[in-house]
A = this chain, B = another copy of it.
């Protein structure tokens, strides 16, 4: 057995709305857990089948190949990310600072709520062939671009002061990505608090000008 797990989370694997009914859903969820824990190559079809309470042959009655399982998970993961970010931005104002808060809270929230989905969708995307991965890859590019556009608008409006826009995007995105690997519901802070703190860090990275209604919330979550 390994000395260190690939990710800390162990439960809440797949949302009901992402999970197909019947065996399809059971198999997909088992694949998600095993891909997250052992990686795509390290998880065998036989293990996935056994974890689903099904024989390996049955798996191929529901999915044409192991790779299609991964493709489905990557697609679901990135679509949930986009859905979550879009909903958050629709509920935020036009101020780039509010939008950054909304984006980072949604971004981090996705990685705390569905850590396995996030780990697989981001960390195993490279295992997909060009044909099966192209659509998902485009989704990821768009999500990055959304944040980049927000940051750029903030710089143009003078509310952000940042040495380098794209490096700020990679920094903010990167620190959020890592959350999926260490967060568990047993952590001393709940997901909401982690998201709030990371949103504050993002604003600090961006050198955000103080927002009258927000600044006093800075130190209240330690």
Q: Tell me if A221 counts as interface (CB < 8 A to partner B).
A: yes
Q: Tell me if A102 counts as interface (CB < 8 A to partner B).
A: no
CA–CA, A126 and B38, complex, Å: 9
CA–CA, A182 and B171, complex, Å: 11
Secondary structure dominating the interface of A? helix
CB-based contact A221/B164 at 8 Å: yes
CB-based contact A3/B207 at 8 Å: no
Interface residues of A in 143-169 (CB under 8 A from B): 161-165, 167-168
A contact residues, range:
35 or more
Q: A163-B220, A163-B221, A175-B175 are in contact. List 11 more A-B contacts (CB 8 A).
A: A2-B133, A3-B129, A39-B42, A162-B222, A163-B197, A163-B200, A164-B189, A167-B201, A170-B178, A171-B201, A177-B178
| Interface residue ranges, A against B (CB under 8 Å) | 1-6, 38-39, 41-42, 123, 125-130, 133-134, 137, 161-165, 167-168, 170-179, 182, 189, 194, 197-198, 200-201, 204-205, 207, 218-222
